[in-house]
């Protein structure tokens, strides 16, 4: 599964993307965030406030409770500030 990071999530983790193999128990976006946060200090820092992290599966906004099964690309980022 390809995971992308943007803005300060990317800066804190120190990379823009990577491939990960989460355990089968990581069923939802929230589960995946919890698993990623356990992978090291930089991840724990990036995901220290899971409530502010937004996610997209295959380029569509999703909620924390959305299932990740079948996802090719999951992106994590702070609230958007375009315009």
Partner 1 sequence: MSAPVTIRLQTSDFDVAAETAALTRGRTDIGAVVNFVGICRGGEGEGAISALTLEHYPGMAEEEIARHANEALARWPLTGLTIIHRYGRLMPGENIMMVLTASAHRAAAFEAAQFLMDYLKTAAPFWKSEERASGARWVEATREDDAAAARWTKS
34 Ramachandran zone, left/alpha/beta (phi>0; psi -120 to 50): alpha
> What distances in angstroms separate CA 67 from CA 3, 14, 27, 41, one per listed residue?
15, 26, 6, 26
| Member of 23, 51, 70, 83 binding partner 1 (CB under 8 A) | 83
Q: How far is the CB of 39 from partner 1 (least distance, A)?
A: 22
Closest distance to partner 1 from the beta carbon of 25 (Å): 27
Cα–Cα distance between 54 and 29 in angstroms, integer? 10
Cβ proximity to partner 1: between 4 and 27 the closer is 4
Residues 1-60 that bind partner 1 (CB under 8 A): 4, 6-8, 56, 59-60
């Amino acid at each position: 599964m390809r995971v992308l990071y943007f803005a300060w999530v990317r800066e804190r983790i120190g990379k823009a993307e990577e491939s990960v193999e989460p355990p089968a128990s990581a069923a939802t976006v929230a589960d995946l965030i919890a698993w990623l946060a356990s992978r090291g200090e930089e991840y724990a820092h990036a995901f220290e406030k899971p409530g502010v992290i937004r996610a997209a599966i295959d380029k569509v906004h999703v909620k924390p409770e959305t299932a990740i099964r079948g996802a090719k690309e999951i992106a994590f980022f702070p609230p958007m500030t375009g315009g």
